[in-house]
Amino acid sequence: MPSPKWIFASRFRRNAFGWRSSLPIQRLKEAVSEIRSVARTDCALAADGAVLLLEKLSPALEQVDSSSGALGSAVNRAIDTLVPVIVAADVTLAVRGRWLDRLFEALQDDEMPYIEPLGDHWGTLCVTPELASEWADRLLPLVTHVLQAEGFNYFVGTVPCLSALFTAGRFEELVELAQRDRLKSWWYRRWAVDALVSLGRPGDALRLAEASRGLNAPEHAIARACETILLGCGMRNEAYERYAISANRAGTYLATFRGIAKKFPERPQETILSDLIRSEPGSEGKWFAAAKDARLFDQAVALSRQSPTDPKTLIRAARDYETTQPQFAMECAVSALHWMEAGYGYEISVTDVIDAYDALVAAALAGRVPMAAVDDRVRSLISNANSLVGRALHTRMEAARR
């Protein structure tokens, strides 16, 4: 197969990057774009380039500071993009075999490790059950030994072996192998869970997943697997009651709410929100954005009063609804001033205080509320006239009177 001059090849030399992660992330995006561009006209050539890039990643990134997680996320996205490119190539079994040999060599040399998630795709990369079965047989002896050995042992080929067994349809063998793991690692057992589902034994799959809980076990991943099993069996109520909250935790409270509401559209949003609030006593204010998103304005106001709520989120809500929902906007602005006066909020400045007051005034005008009543309510919020909030409000109110 011809080997073109890939632009990324010279950029991803061993130790090519320093400790800053911004440049390698940018170079990785460019490399993936270059490969995808070639894939439009020559799938096999693009696949060979994808293999080359994956080979070069770890050596090139060894010196980069990845503590923020941004680089790891970029690599994971690249893997998710490149795997389909490799799979789509229409090549001979010999060529695909050489690609897999190169990738497995890269996995073994992956010291950081950056391309370890590639193992989850191993069965997919094999494309055919026959090639997957060959790889499973190749890896099985060492995997079996490592799983049964005393102490903590690790072999980079364990997950590729399990993935290959799954693609090969050797489900019973996969279940037996995963259960030999003395440490009961979820990242191995998850393959057995999927195999049991494929064998038409969802009950056994659910019990195995539940039995995998323990110290350092990924509760979110286990709950997500259990939820998927129950949903696949049509047991939506049980899936919601047992796993919806733990399986759909996201980066923000709003994203968590949206994820559950999208997955269980038959559930009233009020019910979902109430269940989420009960799951975290003392964090009621953090669900304000979710209540607002569901247009549960009265509940959103109540939540913003119950526990600390981000003032800037409240100010944005006040601005967004000052004309369409003036009463709600007023309550948001008042709550923002209250929590800022109480010392909550990140990097609160005079500008934030003034923005909250101006949003309150605008909403009051839209709702035809007398300014005297607004000012009286604002004054009642100020517990310390010399605080940042107190001084800013005094100055702004004096200026408004002129």
Kindly report, residue by residue over 278-319, the tens digit of the pLDDT: 999 999 999 999 999 999 999 999 999 999 999 999 999 999
pLDDT at 216: 87
**Strands, E, within 131-276: which ranges?**
none
pLDDT at 111: 86
- Which whole number is the average pLDDT over 185-192? 96
Domain range list for the chain? 1-111, 128-245, 287-401
The more confident residue out of 223 and 372 is: 223
How far is it, in rounded angstroms, from Cα 121 to Cα 221?
Answer: 17
pLDDT at 82: 98
pTM of the model: 0.87
Percentage above 90 pLDDT, the chain: 86
pLDDT at 363: 96
**Strands, E, within 188-306: which ranges?**
none
Q: Please tell me whether residue 397 adopts helix, strand or coil conformation.
A: helix
Kindly report, residue by residue over 17-46, the tens digit of the pLDDT: 999 999 999 999 999 999 999 999 999 999
Nearest in space to 10 (alpha carbons), one of 50, 45, 53: 53
pLDDT at 3: 57
Kindly report, residue by residue over 326-361, the tens digit of the pLDDT: 999 999 999 999 999 999 999 999 999 999 999 999
pLDDT for residue 256 is more than 60: yes
> Which value, in Å, is the radius of gyration of the alpha carbons in the chain?
28
**Residue 127's pLDDT band (boundaries 50, 70, 90)?**
very high
Side chain identity at residue 261, one-letter code: A
pLDDT for residue 2 is more than 70: no
**Residue 215's pLDDT band (boundaries 50, 70, 90)?**
confident
**Residue 16's pLDDT band (boundaries 50, 70, 90)?**
very high
- Which whole number is the average pLDDT over 120-134? 98
Nearest in space to 326 (alpha carbons), one of 355, 301, 293, 290: 301
Identify the CATH assignment for 128-245 out of 1.25.40, 2.40.50, 1.10.10, 2.60.40.
1.25.40
pLDDT for residue 1 is more than 60: no
Kindly report, residue by residue over 266-277, the tens digit of the pLDDT: 999 999 999 999
How far is it, in rounded angstroms, from Cα 183 to Cα 201?
Answer: 23
Percentage above 70 pLDDT, the chain: 98
